[in-house]
Amino acid sequence: MAWLLANEGTVRLGAFVGVLILIALIERRWPARRDVGGIPRTLTNLSLVFIGSAVLRLGFPLLAVGLASRVHANAGGLFGLLHWPSVLEIVLAVVLLDLAIYWQHRLFHVIPMLWRMHRVHHSDVAFDVSTGVRFHPFEIAASMALKLALVALLGPDPLAVVAFELLLSLGSLITHGNYAFAATLDRKIRWLLVTPSMHRIHHSVRREETDSNYGFHLSIWDRLFASYRAQPQSPEREMPIGLDAFRAPAEQRLLALLVQPFKPQR
């Protein structure tokens, strides 16, 4: 575990690049939709994740894994009081963090100021693996602030935070991939996990569909909190993706996306 904690940045980067390439190859060979994205759009989306990472490094002296190591070493937080077995603590911490991200995502759709940041993700007019990294730097910073607060409150094993951070970044790539499982298999997977077809509904241009299927990993939260939608109104492979606003090519460029939170949604 010590090696993993010491090299978690390298491990996460390697896993991220590997899964990104793998999903890109899968969706190129077996695309679910014929969205026309193009290389400029892909580079724009990838640029956002680099900018967001730089903002985290410059704006936060300590990130989630580092804080978890400190709190856990001092037996702080809820888990520091409970003294549960490490395996149980890690599993429960990952589940609780996943639940927190579900509610964070839902609040980003409800609170106007947060929606202005999050709509950069939803204004993508195509849906593929690069959509999974298209988040405004302000949203990335807000998400990290929430994770730091949760880590301080829970005091989880650092390994749980490493596992969750890996699941969060890799899961975003997997669920945004432009591919689909066979319908029968997809229905079975959805009883536990979010699939690309389930999450694709969340990117529909219809607001009632955008405001559904908020889960990142576990599909149980959408079922439990009545936000689950099984099918879109239009066929999944043909339904419009994105928002009614910000669809012009000029509004899809990097600078336009960075200033989008300051613009009204027409």
Helix segments in 7-123, DSSP class H: 8-29, 39-59, 64-73, 77-82, 86-110, 112-122
The string of pLDDT tens digits covering residues 58-109 is 998 888 989 998 998 888 888 888 888 889 999 999 999 999 999 999 999 9
Return d(Cα 104, Cα 107) in angstroms, integer. Answer: 5
The string of pLDDT tens digits covering residues 158-171 is 999 999 999 999 99
Which one, of 77, 101, 99, lies nearest residue 89 by Cα?
77
E strand segments, 116-213: none
User: For position 1, what pLDDT does the model report?
Assistant: 62
Which one, of 125, 132, 161, 149, lies nearest residue 241 by Cα?
125
pTM score: 0.93
User: For position 140, what pLDDT does the model report?
Assistant: 96
DSSP state of 237: T
